[in-house]
Structure 1
Amino acid sequence: MPGDYRAAHPAPRARPAPPADSPRQPFTRQHRSVVYFRGCNEARAAGAAPIYRGQPGYRPEMDGDGDGIACEPYRGRR
């Protein structure tokens, strides 16, 4: 009986993994950045400043002039 069952119900075959250079990669969920600095002093102490828009740790709240660069060095007035 088990032989008859196996003949009628073959085991499903596993799909082969796509080659590494395949253009269709499996879907991966993009996670938000886990880098967080309380302020620019903390970012500077970590050696991460200046932080550009799109980089981990960038927040608009830390970009005072809205140019896409947070914690940039203060240039002062002349």
Structure 2
Amino acid sequence: MPSEAPPRTEQPARSADVYYSNCAAARAAGAAPLHSGKPGYRSGLDRDNHGVACE
């Protein structure tokens, strides 16, 4: 009898694991606006450097 695979646990995405090439891509994914410290945020998308990108 085959053994069952252990249940998968969902892990929160790390900021480095999520990348949007531009704000249009973030909006298309339904992720905008992106907040500092959250997955997908990077300073290159935050035009006024206040911690919120693609607003």
TM-score by length of 2: 0.71
Number of equivalent positions: 42
> Which residue identity lines up with residue 24 of structure 2 in the other structure?
N
The two structures, once aligned, show a CA RMSD in angstroms of: 1.3
Deviation of 1:45 (Å): 0.2
Instruction: Give unpaired runs (5+ residues) of structure 1.
Output: 1-30, 73-78
TM-score by length of 1: 0.51
Checking the alignment, whether the CA contact within 8 Å between 2:15 and 2:38 is kept in structure 1 is no
Name the counterpart of 1:19.
Answer: none
Distance 2:15 2:35 in 1: 16
Larger Rg: 1
Name the counterpart of 1:46.
Answer: 29
Deviation of 1:33 (Å): 2.2
User: Runs (4+) of structure 1 moved beyond 6 Å?
Assistant: none
Q: Percent identity?
A: 52
Deviation of 1:32 (Å): 5.5
Does structure 1 residue 57 correspond to structure 2 residue 48?
Answer: no
